[in-house]
């Protein structure tokens, strides 16, 4: 499959119309970046990002695994969570942001990428097997999804997404929505 700007725009629009989590995602993308940057958020806001990462699969992710990850994240001391998020907000690059976040219990590179997206959706986009596979099918990534992806894998993925967003004159959130729908 070849990606084109018209296809990306159409699939992103389809995501907005059909995906049940769109409204809450859009709301959180409007509010969480400023809240995280200012440190004006609660534990539930941080837990929401972890929940979103897994629940966006709408049942395709094993429920027991999802619940275990969510519960394990709640084991983090909230001040430790706040410190990791603050370090990610202040990070000079994606690697530093992801490394700060993966110091938390239950946060691997994909979940850290979700945090990054909600920290700064203009700079970051979430990674997962669906989005990666779609880019590979479009010959935009060479390797199959590395399970689990490393920080370096995320950096490659992110750079490819940034390049595509520039090519298609869209933001990363739009590209994510298109990739998600294309992988359906």
Report pLDDT digits (tens) over 46-76.
Answer: 999 999 999 998 877 778 888 899 999 999 9
Q: Which of 81, 119, 73 is nearest to 100 (CA)?
A: 81
Q: What is the pLDDT of residue 61?
A: 74
User: Residue 160 to residues 26, 66, 84, 92, 142: CA-CA distances in angstroms?
Assistant: 23, 28, 26, 19, 11
Q: What is the pLDDT of residue 161?
A: 98
Q: What is the pLDDT of residue 76?
A: 97
Q: pLDDT confidence of 160, banded at 50, 70, 90?
A: very high
Is the confidence at residue 100, as pLDDT, over 80?
yes
Q: 177: domain range?
A: 5-182
- The domain total for the chain is 1
Mean pLDDT of all residues in 4-18: 97
Q: pLDDT confidence of 141, banded at 50, 70, 90?
A: very high
Is the confidence at residue 162, as pLDDT, over 90?
yes
More confident residue, 94 or 65: 94
Q: What is the pLDDT of residue 182?
A: 96
Is the confidence at residue 138, as pLDDT, over 90?
yes
Q: What is the pLDDT of residue 62?
A: 76
The percentage of residues in the chain with a pLDDT greater than 90, rounded to a whole number, is: 91
User: Residue 142 to residues 72, 78, 95, 128, 135: CA-CA distances in angstroms?
Assistant: 33, 39, 21, 15, 9
- Up-side HSE of residue 93: CA atoms within 13 Å toward CB? 8
Is the confidence at residue 27, as pLDDT, over 80?
yes
Q: What is the pLDDT of residue 60?
A: 75
Taken in order 135, 141, 144, 148, the sign of the CA dihedral is negative
46 CA to centre of own chain: 13
Is the confidence at residue 21, as pLDDT, over 80?
yes
- The pTM score is 0.96
């Amino acid at each position: 499959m070849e990606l084109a700007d018209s296809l990306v725009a159409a699939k992103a629009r389809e995501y907005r119309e059909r995906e049940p989590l769109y409204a809450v995602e859009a709301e959180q993308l409007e509010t969480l970046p400023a809240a995280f940057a200012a440190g004006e958020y609660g534990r539930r806001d941080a837990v929401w990002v972890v929940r979103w990462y897994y629940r966006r699969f709408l049942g395709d992710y094993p429920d027991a695994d999802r619940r275990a990850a969510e519960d394990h994240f709640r084991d983090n001391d909230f001040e430790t969570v706040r410190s990791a998020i603050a370090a990610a907000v202040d990070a000079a690059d994606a690697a530093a942001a992801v490394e700060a976040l993966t110091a938390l219990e239950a946060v691997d590179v994909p979940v850290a990428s979700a945090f990054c997206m909600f920290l700064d959706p203009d700079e970051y986009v979430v990674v997962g097997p669906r989005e990666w596979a779609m880019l590979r099918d479009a010959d935009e990534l060479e390797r199959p999804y590395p399970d689990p992806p490393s920080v370096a894998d995320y950096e490659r993925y992110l750079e490819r997404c940034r390049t595509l967003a520039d090519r298609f004159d869209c933001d990363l959130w739009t590209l994510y929505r298109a990739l998600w729908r294309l992988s359906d």
